[in-house]
Amino acid sequence: MEFAQLGVFLIATLILNVTPGPDMIFAAANGVQRGSAAGVVSALGIGCGALFHAGMAAIGVSALIAASDLAFDVLRIGGALYLIWIGVKNFRGNDGPVFGNTVPQVSYRQLYLRGMLTNILNPKVALFFIALLPQFVSPEAGNIGMQIFLLGCFVGISGAVINGLVGMFAGGAGRLFLQSPKASKWIARVSGVLFVGLGIRLFLMERN
């Protein structure tokens, strides 16, 4: 990859990773509600989801999904229902008491898996990978699939770092707000509404 291409790739990756979306909101919400460690664990799960997309793009599965109306719709609807489910769980707080009997209690393993699924079930990530990454590969550099995978890994790892920082700082802010059961209740409800809104938006998304 030439220096100019590298610069464009880094800028595109940065824009992708700092743009608020389901991944960043998931890490931030868990950081605020459950502490900095929960936000970081959520980000690690999100990063692993991106690595999955990198692998799928490298072997051509993402391109097949993008080309198939049925496969794309299944992924889109599944992702939308999953986000809505997370939102309802957060809004109701029905996993058990943590702060003020309002925040769902989940293990780090569950947060990791939920973060991973949040990313995997987002068809926008798959479309981004197959639209962006092939532009920065070079046949002269060797195996095309491996190049796509390595570029995708960079996107995923850098995204995990950014979302981890967001989750960490959100955890610091959460310690201030969650001293009040009333504030804890409203934070859980707001995060729930955000996820339901993101799920509805994904459900209504049309493929270009």
Residue-wise pLDDT for 21-71, tens only, equals 889 999 998 998 888 999 999 999 999 999 999 999 888 876 776 677 887
The Cα 176–Cα 163 span in angstroms is 20
Residue 87 and residue 199 in contact, taking contact as beta carbons nearer than 8 Å: yes
Prediction pTM value: 0.76
DSSP classification of residue 141: G
- Taking phi over 0 as left and psi of -120 to 50 as alpha, with beta for the rest, 60 belongs to left
The Cα 25–Cα 15 span in angstroms is 16
Q: How far apart are the first and last CA of the chain?
A: 28
Lowest mean pLDDT: which of 65-69, 92-96, 156-160, 191-195?
92-96
Domains in the chain: boundaries: 35-87+94-204
Which pLDDT score, from 0 to 100, does residue 101 have? 44
What's the rounded mean pLDDT across residues 101-127? 84
Task: Give the Å distances, CA to CA, from 41 to 62, 68, 110, 125, 148.
Answer: 26, 33, 10, 20, 26
For 142, the 3-state DSSP assignment is coil
Between 162 and 87, the more confident residue is 162
100: closest CA among 201, 18, 2, 182? 182
pLDDT category of residue 163 using cuts at 50, 70 and 90: very high
pLDDT category of residue 97 using cuts at 50, 70 and 90: very low
